Chains A and B, each alone.
Chain A
Amino acid sequence: GAVVSQHPSRVICKSGTSVKIECRSLDFQATTMFWYRQFPKQSLMLMATSNEGSKATYEQGVEKDKFLINHASLTLSTLTVTSAHPEDSSFYICSASRATEAFFGQGTRLTVV
Chain B
Amino acid sequence: EDQVTQSPEALRLQEGESSSLNCSYTVSGLRGLFWYRQDPGKGPEFLFTLYSAGEEKEKERLKATLTKKESFLHITAPKPEDSATYLCAVLGPQAGTALIFGKGTTLSVSS
Secondary structure class of chain A's binding surface, majority of residues: strand
Contact B44 A44 (CB under 8 A): yes
Contacts of A32 in B (CB 8 A): 96
- In the complex, the number of residue pairs spanning A and B with C-beta atoms less than 8 Å apart equals 57
Mark contacts of A72-113 with chain B using CB atoms, 8 A cut-off: 1 yes-contact digit, 0 otherwise.
000000000000000000010101010011111111010000
Knowing A43-B102, A43-B103, A49-B97 touch, does A101 contact B43 (C-beta < 8 A)? Answer: no
- Size of the A side of the interface (Cβ < 8 Å), in residues, is 26
Residues of B60-80 whose CB lies within 8 A of A: none
Could you say which residues of chain B place their CB within 8 Å of the CB of A91?
41
Contact residue among B46, B89, B104 (Cβ-Cβ distance under 8 Å from A1): B46
Contact indicator B43/A93 (Cβ below 8 Å): yes
Instruction: State the majority secondary structure of interface residues on B.
Output: loop
B46 touches A103 (CB 8 A): yes
Whole-angstrom distance between the Cβ of B87 and the nearest chain A Cβ: 7
* CB pair A51 B96 closer than 8 Å: yes
Q: Which residues of A contact B36 (CB under 8 A)?
A: 104
Q: How many chain B residues touch the partner (CB < 8 A)?
A: 24
Flag if A6 contacts B43 (CB, 8 Å): yes
Q: Does A67 sit at the interface, judged by CB under 8 A?
A: no
Contact B42 A106 (CB under 8 A): yes
Is B103 a contact partner of A102 (Cβ separation < 8 A)? no
Residues of A within 8 A of B (CB): 1, 4, 6, 31-32, 34, 41-44, 46, 49, 51, 91, 93, 95, 97, 100-107, 109
Q: Which residues of B contact A (CB under 8 A)?
A: 31-32, 34, 36, 41-46, 49, 51, 87, 89, 91, 96-99, 101-104, 106
